[in-house]
Each structure stands twice: as C-alpha cells, then as structure tokens.
A and B are shown apart, each in its own frame.
Chain A
Amino acid sequence: MELGNPFQDSLRFESRTLPCASVIFGATGDLTRRKLVPALYRLACERRLPPGFALLGTSRTPLTDDQFREKLRAAIPEFAPGLPVDGDMWRSFSSAFFYIPGDLKDPATYQRLAAKLSEIETRFETGGNVLFYLATQPSQYETAADGIGAAGLARGNGWRRLVIEKPFGHDVSSARELNARLQRIFPESEIYRIDHYLGKETVQNILAFRFANGIFEPLWNRRYVNHVQITAAEAIGVENRGAYYQEAGALSDMIQNHLLQIMATIGMEPTPVYVADAVRDERAKLLRSIRIMKPDEVALNAVAGQYGPARIGDSEVPGFRQEPGVRPDSRTETYAAVTLFVDNWRWAGVPFCLRTGKRLPRRVTDIAIHYSGAPHAPFAESNADNNGATPNLLIIRIQPEEGISMRFLSKEPGGGMRLRPVSMDFNYGASFGSQEASAYETLLLDAMRGDPTLYIRQDAVEASWAVVQPILEVWRNQSFGFPNYSAGTWGPAAADEMLARRGHVWRSP
C-alpha cells in the first residue's frame, strides 16, 4: 500500500502535482510564447509546479536548448510582466527546458523525443509522467498524435496525457473523425480538450453560486426565468488574426465552444458530487438537450453580422474587410447571435439568447438571467415603461469586474408609489481582493493533476457542433449585406429584431 505524505497540510498547501515532463509541439509558436510558458513560469514562481518538472519543446525551427530558453525568456516581460527573468528563479526554471528540432511527419523526430524523455525521466525523477501539448495548427493534430503513438510514447511508466486546443473539428463529422484518430492513440480519459473560458474563475463560480446556495436553485427554471442572455463582446477587431478568423467566424470561434459551454454550465442539472465525469455528464446532457434548428428556423433564430469601418473617438477604425489578411469580399461573420431552446423539463420554452462579436462598444462577457414579472402587478401604472426589460435580472459578470448583480424594483423616496430598478451588487474585488488567476494556469495544473473537470469531453464537442452546424450550413448558402454594423455599435439591427419578435431587448452590459 502506498504511504501518504505525512507532511501534507491541505489547509495551507495547494494539492500537489506529481513530477512530470511536458512536451510542447509547436514550441516556437505564438501560443507557447504568449500563454503556455508565461502560465508555467507563473506557476513556478508561485511554487505550484512540481520540483521535477521539465519542458521539452519541439518544432521545425532549428534551435539549441539555450536558444530555445532565450527565446522564451524574451517573451516573459511582455506576456508575464512583473515576473523576474534575470535571477535564479528563471535560471532554475529554464534549466529544465530542452528542445528537439524536427518535422512532425518524420518518425525520427519522435525517436529523438523518446530518447530525451527517457533521459528526463531519470534525471528529473518524473516517474515517466508526460503531458503532450499540441500547440500546433489544428491540421497537424492527427499527424502529431499518430507520431506519438507510432513511437510508443503514448504508453510508459507513468501517465501520458494529450492536451489539444480548439477548434476540435469544423463540424460534427470532422470532430468525430479527429476524435477517432486521437482515441486510437490515447484513451478518452487522457485527452484534454482545452476551452480557456472554463478555466476562468467566475465561470467555475457559476457552479458554486448555483449549487452551494439553497436560495437560487428553486428559481432556476422555466417557471421563473423568462429568458437568458449570454454576451461575449470584444472591443477589438481581428487584430493580426485576420487570415485565421476569416476561415472560422464568430459562430465557430466563440459560440460553438465558449458560449455553449457557459450555457451548459448555467443550464445543467446539479451533480451529486463534484467530480470530473459527473460535471461533464451534466454539461453534455444539457448540450444534447438543445433543440437543433431546422433550416427554415435559422433566419428567425440566428443573425450574422460583419463590422464596417467607423470613426471611434479620434481614430478611424477599419472594417473587417479592410483588416490585414482578410479578403475584400469576405463573407465571414464577425458577429453572431442565436436564440436557442433547451428541450427538457427545467428549461422548456425559455429562450437562451447568445451573442458575440468583434468591434462592439466594449469588452464584456456576462450572463443575464431575466426573471418573469410578478403575476399581478398592483403598481403597474407607475411602472408601465420598463423598456421591454423584465424587472428582475440576475447578472453574472465574467469579465471585466467579475461579480454578480441582482436588479429589482424599489420604491422611489417621496410620496406616491413610483418604482425604479435598483441593483444589489456583489463584486469579487470587494470580497476577495484583486487576486486574478490566469485560466491557463488553472487548466495546465489540472491536466498535470489528472483533473479533467474543466476540459471538454468528446460528447460535448459533438453536441456543440450539432447545435451550430445547421446554422453554418444555411449561412454558407445565404448572401448577407455585409458589412451590416458599424464598428463601435452593439451589432446589426437584425439581432435586435430577433429578440423583439419575442418581446425582448438586448441589455446594454
């Protein structure tokens, strides 16, 4: 029987992570430089990485170990400002970085990786634990996974896990095909599909809010909820991702993954215990319960938009078609809004309105639960004009200023019974200070610890694609009058009309 660690102090020490090596494919790319290594280094500085941690990078660029270390060091000031890069800490951390140049299609690359991993296992006492991270183009996922499998790297003395980034396919069948290829090499339990939205503290807090408090859950159903709005707005354009974004679009890039995952977290049933598969089962069940749109329903329940040029403040902002790398006649949507229904007892008939877009007035992600009005309103006359909005609103703010607000009506001071909406606010900063954990830190650590709760399982991926695919297919054959919204506005008029048909209005977050 394995002995426990007698020195563990769960009250004060974080649960520990076993020593391991992380192999990053695409190690000279943007994701590694901007997200992965800064997150790993922050974990190291916070002393949350195991002492026997080693990083093995690979990509086609010929580099020595030292050049690789230097390349990553240079990225730290920009992407992890405030962390030291000249002292012992960085030297100690980066001394466990190694680099193997090679082509993903070349079996010799994997042989060299295997030899290095074997050396690392002995030198760092990793016990053979390896986390493979595919930070490559999605088109290379299968090649890399096949190479890992053919070299026998998917099995070893310790655990072997594979982390991949979205997109997980581009429709249901490609998602299934990708998964079938990956599952030939790794079992589903060792495949970690990352959606960084799920790593955000406030998204995780939705579960705590719903299931750790007794007062909200009774109101969390079709009897009380009129409709739900989920907004993920960005003020920036496509920046230097024009070429990529042109192939993806807002529906695939944001709604298919991030927003549907948030919707699943909002709508899922409670789990008896907080363990990975129980949580992922419930999320997947919710996604499978979303009604799939018929082609003739798409026009009524989905809106595509593309931003045009505008003057914002003192700046002339280009339209999407004027962005670098974007075709001047691009038909890609930079805005998408959909109204979805969940066919289950809890949510039957409740519209879930999801919208996302670029070049909207401000960067904000939030969820608004609009409650139905009182069954009889004795004060209706003095409160007739609520601009179409329901009086009671629960808002879960994900970014910025994470928190929760409840809006309700209150009597205005003075004579008569004049009502006015007021807000009761909970602000994270006001209760928990200004600590901010990066989603990648949370998720990387979870993968090393073997906790996939915040990762997306294959059935959820397929269910999400099943929801958006009919919309994508209709849009593919539809011509839009793009651009149909100006940069700096809340999207096309058609999105407002979509909600107006059910008597709703988008809130201004």
Chain B
Amino acid sequence: MQIFGVLLPEKDRLLSYFGQFKQGKGGLVVYLALLGVVVGGFGVGSIFFRGHGETINTSSLVPWGLQISTYVYFALVSGGCIFTNFFGNMFFHAKYKPLASRVIFMGLITAIAGFTALASELGHVERMYFFILSPNPTSPMFWMSVWYTADITILLVEYVNIQRNKHSKSMLYVSFIIPVITYVSLGSLFGAVGTMPYYYSSLLPVYFLFTGFLSGNALCAIIAAYQFKTSGGFNSVRPFFRMQKIALASVFVLTFCRNIIGIASNLSGYVIFRETFFVNVVFGMGAALVIPFIILMYRRTLGGLVLSSLIVLLTQFMARLDLVVEGFRVPVFRVYDMPERISYFPSIYEMLVVVASVSIVAMVYIVCEKTGLFEIAGKETH
C-alpha cells in the first residue's frame, strides 16, 4: 500500500516542510509541540528507564493516577472523534464531508497518544504479549484491549478509505459500532468494579460514551473552526454547535445521575459523593458543562465555539482525573498512619506524560495539516 500520499503526506511536501522547519519557518505551535514531545518524551523515558518508584506518585492506595486518566481522556477523545464522524456523516452529510479525514485522523492519533500514557503506567509494559499468550476472557481490561486494537485497525482502514476516496456506508457503520463497543468496555472496566463505589455503576459505560462524544466533538469543533476560519465556510461549522449542545446536555444529565445516586447511597465508600458534591456541582457540572452550553447559546460565532470547546477539553480532562482518582479517596482498609482521606498529587513525570501525549497529537496533526495530508482526499473528489 502507498504510504506517502495516503497514510502520510506526500514525500516532497514533507521534505519541503522539513526544509522550512529547519529555517525556523515551521510555525510557532509546531516548535512548541516539538519541545513538548522532547520534554514529554524525556518524562516517559524516565518513567520507563528509572522505574515508577523514582518517578511517579501512584501507590497501593492510589493505584491509578494521572497516567490512567490521561489514557482514558485520550481514548475517549478518540472515541468522540469517531462519533462526531458518524453523526456528521449521518446528519450533516455535505457540510461535514470536508472534515472527515481530519476527524478520523485525529481519532487515530489520540488513540495512539492515549496508549502512550497507558504504557507508561504499566509496571511491566514489556510483558504486554501476555494479552495474546494468556488472555483472560472474564477481564474487562482484556476485552478493552481487544476492542481497542480492533478500533485502531478499523480507524486505520476507514482513514485510508477516506484518503483514497473509497468511503463506504457500511464501513461507516462498522467504524461506529466498534468504537461504541470499545468505549463501553472501557466504561465497564471501571463500572464493573463492584468494590469501588465511585466507579461501580451501570451508568458508567454510557457516561463514558457521552463524555467521549463531548470531548471528541470539542476537539473536532476546534479543528473545524480552524479549518473554516481560513476557508470561510461557516456553514460547515454549524453542525458542531448543535452536536456540542447535545453532548453537553447529555453529559449533564448523566453526571447529575451519577452524583444523585452517589449521595443517595448509604454504603460506606459512597461518602465520597457527598464530600465532593459541591465541587461536582459547581465545577463538574457548572463550570464544565453549563458555562460552555451558555456560551454556545449566546455566542453563536466561531470564537464562541472555540472558547466553549477549549473549556470542554480542559474540564473534561480534569473530570477524567477526578473520576479515576477520587475513587481511591476513601481508603478501603484504613490502618496505621493512613489518613482518613487519601490525597494524591501527580509527580512532574506524570505531568510530562500528559505533555507528551498532548504534544504528539498537536505536532503530528499540525504537520500533517501543513503538509496537505487532508487535501489528498479532497483532491480526488474535485
């Protein structure tokens, strides 16, 4: 299969961009992203080569921290891109079309960025082959990995199809169904843990789907805005207003449900819902969902969309961290000097993992954009 010109930009455009880049004309964001990749890469490398003991702050009490939440975040963004792609195709066909390859590509690279974060969290990444040699069909994590692999494969196929303008409807459905299953299994990875009140809920898989849609859509909205700022096709941005509002509203409802169930429950570990209720309402729902919604209602401009989307991307990142970490706040078996509430603050290396993931996404995307990768699909149509 052709790599340059389909999967990657044309070779000569890449080379010429590389030339510009060397002369300092690569675009500020790309340099920043490169710096991010280098520094973040150093962080990931440190975790890998120096070991968790010296680099990360997760522990037996907080076994999952920023790396896992970053993984979940990017995985859900990836999923969200696919949903956007699906709904875009289904409901806003023509308006959406020019964006399709970008959105799918974004879905791909965020999935990969997410995996980077996940890999840095595992105690022994090098043993991942046991997923194949010694699979456990009862494990949601096993299934998650199966579907995740399928998801990336499908995305790749879909992406190549779009790039080669061989997009088919059936493929569109498959590339919707597989991610749905993938992110439902990611949701159930948490939701099925009967021992963790903060996770345990049949709502969680659905919650994951919708938060994924929300954050992925927000990212796509920014891409769309960026795209149409240059090309001036405001019409093509319109769908994002609507999709974003739907996403915000549905996540609002689900967040509300989760919290209400939480505070209404009387099991020991559920106190955490009561203790975080205020924060959850003010920030988790108010700042993270209501404000972006209001912005969309009253500022129906590109700027409004971008602002709303940025807020969503940021607050959803925090919401993922909150979801993962707050689960451990009430110690399961409190003994010795253990505090009543466990606190966790990520180490600099953990933060660098985030930097790495974000920078990879930003750099790859912008370079590909600049070198005309997404024009390939377009070219063949016109």
Do the two chains bind? no
User: Which chain B residues have a beta carbon within 8 Å of chain A's beta carbons?
Assistant: none
